[in-house]
Amino acid sequence: MSQKGDLFQKIEAATPALRRYARALCCGAGSAAADELVQAAIEQAAAKVRAREPSDGAAARHCAYRALTALAREKCAGLAATASPRQPAVVHALADLPYEERASLLLVALEGFSYEAAARIADTSREAFVARLMRARAALSLLDLRPSAPSDGARRAGGHLRVVK
Amino acid sequence: MTPPPSVQEADLHALVDGELSAERRRDVEDHLSRHPEDAALVEGWRRQNAALRAAFEPVARETPPLSLRNAAVRNAAPGAAPIETGAIHWGRPSGPSRSVRRLDEARESRRKRAFLSTAAALLVGAALAAATVLAFTRPPTPSGAATPVISAQSYVDRADISYRTYAPDARPVDFDADHLAELAAAQWRRVGFACAPDLSGVGLRLLGGRVAPGLKGPAGFLLYETQDSARVGLYFERAEPEKAARVAPRVDQSLTAVEWRGAGMAFVLIGPLGADAMQESAERAAGEILAPPPGEAKRR
């Protein structure tokens, strides 16, 4: 029983980070929507804890992120139009990414998960996950740093590298 | 000695994300020193990471809203107990036996008569009280303007009542701008939240604030003043998070209200300015309220 209490606490402790991840997934579209997602994700993770699925604090945390990623997929999919103009450029670029790529980038760059853990959270294989991450970063470089050079879109520096799909 | 495997794009990402073994990392860093265009790629991705973190780090430093505190444990409580203890099952109390029931019926009829006379007395009293309440809540008819019947069913309605009550007053606030600490203390105590956003950037000077009646409990009410001595109120009360429309209805001919939710509260900015000015002020206020505490870098 005390182990469950510990796991609940671990999920609680992840709340600020979950809120950050949710807000970023929704591209800053507003704290209310993001917080609703976090609440639903926490409830699902708590249900898993009660069903004795996660074995330790890290697994409990992953449950919460997994639930949040799945829930946000429906909610945040079509958000590009609603990112307010007062958001920084990177948020707009984020909003233009397909959902899976956005989530992959955020799990690694913002939340600091390893590729292995992030792939499990995103419910996919490590190879597929890394491919999404690479596409996300490529798209972000095009959108952010070189908006006025469309010809660069077809080419990436380092042509001698083999791009692993 | 076999040469190390060639460095591929996936390796560059792995370098940025700390996924390489120490030996492989040395290979990749060596490669970067010889291929500046790849080094530029890596540098670009690191800058993306930094931009993402800068944009969203403030969220992680906020205190989570009340709706999320103990969210995990709260859901555990109802379902957990019977399974955990397993020993005692608290069922419904069973009905009384027949002989006891007869006695109960006798008592019941006596009780019923007493109850009816009490009820009658109470009803008369309630009717009187209701009539009094109605008489007092109908707002006094201002000269010339139509009297709106305000049935307070929303935070906007409550904000409207507070605005009409306090804004026209020569001394509209309990705590003026020199006593913001006491205002904050009172609001924390009564409302469960305090804020005093600086809206000087949109031409609103904070006059001060008070605790006001809210929809379901005490609410905070701040008053600001423009250069033209128009007054704008900021009302806030604890509320469930909800997708409330951000652009608000005009409350009547002369007032505009903008409602939003955040940090476990509902906020209403209400005043006589135009819709655009009110919207901009509301966004400014929302940003101030949800922003990290002063002293840390603000990024908007």
Stretch A115-131: mean pLDDT, rounded? 95
Q: Does B299 touch chain A (CB under 8 A)?
A: yes
Q: In the prediction, which pLDDT does A152 show?
A: 39
**Distance from B4 to chain A by nearest Cα, in Å?**
15
| Percentage of chain A modeled with pLDDT above 90 | 44
Query: pLDDT for A16-40, tens place per residue?
Result: 999 999 999 988 777 888 899 999 9
Task: Tell me the β-bridge partners of B35.
Answer: none
Q: In the prediction, which pLDDT does A156 show?
A: 43
pTM of this structure: 0.49
- Tell which B residues from 93 to 132 touch A, by Cβ distance under 8 Å: none
Q: Does B23 touch chain A (CB under 8 A)?
A: no
**Chain B interface mutation, best of A36, A90, A111, A141, highest count of B Cβ atoms under 10 Å:** A90
Give the integer Cα–Cα distance in Å for B56 and B47: 14
- Sorted by where each starts, the structural domains of chain A and their CATH numbers stand as 3-141 (1.20.140.160)
Give the integer Cα–Cα distance in Å for B40 and B256: 51
Q: In the prediction, which pLDDT does B154 show?
A: 83
ipTM value > 0.85: no
Tokens for B260? 């939003």
Task: Give the other-Cβ count within 10 Å of B289's Cβ.
Answer: 18
Give the integer Cα–Cα distance in Å for A128 and A134: 10
3-state secondary structure of A38: helix
The position carrying tokens 């007395």 is: B121
Give the integer Cα–Cα distance in Å for B102 and B94: 16
Counting runs of H as helices and runs of E as strands, what totals does chain A give?
8, 0
Q: Which residues of chain B have pLDDT under 50?
A: 77-99, 135, 138-150, 245-247, 295-300
Q: In the prediction, which pLDDT does B96 show?
A: 44
Q: In the prediction, which pLDDT does A104 show?
A: 96
